[in-house]
Structure 1
Amino acid sequence: MEELKAGIMGAAPLNHSKVTPETLKVHKAQVDGFLHKKWQQGALAGTIPEQAFWVRCDETNTPEHSMADGLLACDVGVAVTRPAEFVEFNIRQVAGK
C-alpha cells in the first residue's frame, strides 16, 4: 500500500504555489490516470475502473480556507488484489513543497 501511495504522490505532485479549484481538478485527473493504469496492469481488483478505485479531490475535502493556506487533500479508495480488500486513505500535500 505504501508503494501505491508513493506512486500517487509521484504521479500527481503539487508543484503549484497556489491551490485553486482548477488545481483540484487537475490533481484528481492525474490521480485517476495513475490508478487507471494500475488497474489495467492488474494491480487493482474489479472488472471496471469504478469497482477498482475512486478519487475525491474537490471542495468537499479541500475547503476554501485550506486552499488559501496552500493545502490540498485527496481521498482515495482502492480495491487491492492482495490482500483482497478495499482500502481507503487520504493524501495531503502543501503547495510548493
Structure 2
Amino acid sequence: FRLLGLGPVVGARTWGGVVGMTGRHRLVDGTVITVPMNAAWFDAYGWSVENHGVAPDIETVRTPLDWAEGRYTILDEAVRTALDLLAEHPAAEPPD
C-alpha cells in the first residue's frame, strides 16, 4: 500500500512475525509464543516486516476499553483520513 503510494497506513505497528519464526516458548499458563528471529534492511524502503512489523503513517490504538465498548478507533481514524484526503484531492470526473 505504502510502496505504491496509495495512501497512508493507519493503525498500530504489527508485531513482525511473518516467516522467520523459529522455536516455540511455552509459558506457565500453557500457552505458546513464537519470536521472529530474522530481520532485513532494504535501501528502497527500510526494514522489511520480518522482526520489525509494519509501522503506520498515522498511529492509532484501539484500547481494551474501546474494544469492550464496541468502538473501532482505528477504523474511525482511517475513514476520517480517507475522507479528508478525498476533500483535498477530489476524484477525477469521467469525460463526457
TM-score by length of 2: 0.31
**Greater C-alpha Rg:** 2
More strand by share: 1
More helix by share: 1
TM-score by length of 1: 0.31
